[in-house]
Amino acid sequence: MKPAVTYELLHECKQTGARRGVIHTPHGDIQTPIFMPVGTQATVKSMTPEELKEEVKAQIILSNTYHLYLRPGHKIVEEAGGLHKFMNYDGPMLTDSGGFQVFSLAKPKDIKEEGVYFKSTIDGKKLSKKGYSPVQLIFQHPEKSVNPKWKMDKILKEAFEPSKELLEDMGIKKEWLKRWPSELSGGELQRFCVVRALSQETKFLIAEYK
């Protein structure tokens, strides 16, 4: 199965290692390096989507998951048919994970060993920790997001019960379900972490990158 997003290298500088290439996506191609207009809450201020495409010639724009989750909220975006339809923009879009807010927001957050719990910048309330979160984070190191005392079958069902087809598509073998996290390689364990984040209730998917 061909990946939805691919990178084509066009040229690499022998002196610096700088690269020139194209990112191919279902919504269009992106020449790199590229200037990316910022639309934090699904809008680039003072500009219409038509102006972005026709005047600015923007090949990709940036939105922010943290701010979108606060306002307008994932339910409104979902009812509109997704982020592209919500802002009436059909080109490539990148949603920032909100990781920058760990540093940029001085007070509205609690930093714990297992991660960061944000508070709303609108009313100061803590974002809910109960139930299944519509914002799912896939850690770069999968061992950080699983309980080492649980077998993989229980770890999967902590979120939801994925279909056999999904497990097969992700290359997860049936015998792995009865293993402990320590009995899997990092790549095998990461497959479980990806599947666990693919519930129908997931609205924003964040991949940690360092």
Integer CA distances (angstroms), 152 to 106, 183, 188, 203, in order = 37, 10, 11, 24
* DSSP 3-state of 136: strand
Burial of 112 (0-12, 13-18, 19+ CB in 10 A): exposed
Main-chain phi, psi angles of 164, to 5 degrees? -60, -35
Cα(24)–Cα(84) distance, integer angstroms = 17
**Quick check: 163 pLDDT over 70?**
yes
Band (40; pLDDT cuts 50, 70, 90): confident
Beta-bridge partner residues of 93: 61
Better-scored residue on pLDDT, 20 or 75: 20
**Quick check: 3 pLDDT over 90?**
no
Cα(189)–Cα(153) distance, integer angstroms = 12
Cα(80)–Cα(92) distance, integer angstroms = 18
Band (9; pLDDT cuts 50, 70, 90): very high
**Quick check: 30 pLDDT over 80?**
yes
Q: What pLDDT does 22 receive?
A: 96
Is this model's pTM higher than 0.85 or not?
no
Q: What pLDDT does 200 receive?
A: 80
Highest mean pLDDT among 49-58, 105-114, 126-135: 49-58
Cβ 169 vs Cβ 189: under 8 Å: no
